[in-house]
Structure 1
Amino acid sequence: MVVGTGSVETYSKRNIKSYLQIKRGAELETLEYDGSDSANYKFNVLEGSSVVGAVYVESTSELVELASGPTGITVHPLEEATESTEASLVFHVKEGDKEVGKWTLPIIMDETAPTLSGSVYENGKFTITASEPLSPFGYSTSMMFSQSGDDSDYTVVDNTNAIYSVAIVGNQAIISLNEEAIRGRYTLQPNSKFKVNVAISDYADNSSNLNSTLSMPQA
C-alpha cells in the first residue's frame, strides 16, 4: 500500500487525509508528501505555500517496512508477518524539532479469505453476505438459472442486456434483478432457482468465491 496525497484513492493507494488531519486554530492545514529526504518518511505541513511543520511516519515492527516512492510512502509487510504480528504506523507531528502531536494507526494483518455467512432473495434482490468487508475493486459476478429448480436445466444468465446489477456495500454483495429484462427471457416460478457466484477479495487482497443457490419464494 502507498500512503500519499493523491486525490484518487484505489485499493493500493490511500490519501493521508483519510487517516490524519491537522489544524492550527480553526484552519485545516495542507499535507504534502516530501520524497526528497530518503532517510525520513515525511509529509510537509503547509499553511498557504509556507512549510510550518512536518509529519514523520514510522513503523513499530521490523516486519513492516517503509520506503519512499515518487508519490508516497510504501507500506510493505514482509513474508514473515502473520495474523499474530503486532504492528502500527506512528505519525509524529513536529514544528521544527519539537513534537507537538502523535497518532498511532494499528495495522491488522489479514491472511484469511472472506467466507459466505448468509444469502437471501427478497423483492428482486439477492443479498450475499460475507464474513468480513469486501473490496469493491476487481470483483466479478456470474449467475445461472433453473426454471424447474432441478440441477439438469441450469443455463448461464447472460448479463449483456443488464439483466442484473451489482453493488458492494460493506460485507455484502447486493445483486438487483431487472425484472422486466429477465422476465422477457426467463419464466420465473416458485420452484425456480438461481446459482450466484461472486469472485471477490477483502481489503487485504485475499480472494474468495462466494457461491449460493437461492430459490424463488413460494406463491
Structure 2
Amino acid sequence: EDPAKQFQPDSGRIEVFQSGEGMGIRLDSASAFAGAIISPYYDSLLVKIIARASDFRLASKKMLRSLAEFRIHGIKTNIPFLMNVLKHEQFLSGVVDTNFIDEHPDLFNLPPAKQRAQKLLRYIGNTMVNGPSTLLATKLPPSDIEPTVPQVPYVNHIPRGWRNILLELGPVEFAKAIRAHPRLLITDTTMRDAHQSLLATRVRTFDLLR
C-alpha cells in the first residue's frame, strides 16, 4: 500500500526483499519474496508482523526494529508510515481512537526511499556497458590506444605435453619429471562430482575387494 496515495494498493515486481526477524517477532507472509509479481488483484496484506514482549512499549520497540530491517524495493509499502506511528508518543501511551491518523498529518511525513544498493548496481552496470561518464581523477584524457589481439597459431593436432609423459613412462617417472622441471607448473585441483572420471567410478567393486 502507498500511504501517500490514501493507502492505495501498489502493484509491480518485488526487486529486493529482506525481512526483519528475531526474538519476539513472528512473520505471516504470502507472496513476499524477491521476483514476486504483485498484481492489482490481490489482498494488499503481503506480510503481517506480530511482536511479543512483556509490555506494550517493548513490543512496539521490537516492531520498530523489525520494520527498520525490512528491505523491499520495486513496490510501495506502508513501512515508513507504520514506523512513524510506532515512534509517536500518543500511540505509545495507548490513548488513541479512530481519529488518531486524521488528527496527526505528520504521520505522512515519509522520507524518500534511498535504494542505495539498486542505484549502485545501476551505476556499475551502466559504467560496464557504456564506459565511465567522467574523466580520470588527474583530468587526463582517456587513453586512445587500441588494444591489439595477438595472432594465435592454428594447429590441427594436440602438442606433446605432460600427459604424454604420464602415459609413456608411468606415474613414477611422471612425478620425477615434475620435480625436475625448472619452471612453474600450474594445475587445476577442483574437486569433481561423482558423475565425472573419479577413481570410484572407474574401478569395479570386485577389483576394490581384491
Q: TM-score range by the shorter chain?
A: under 0.3
**More strand by proportion, 1 or 2?**
1
TM-score (norm. length: structure 1): 0.23
**More helix by proportion, 1 or 2?**
2
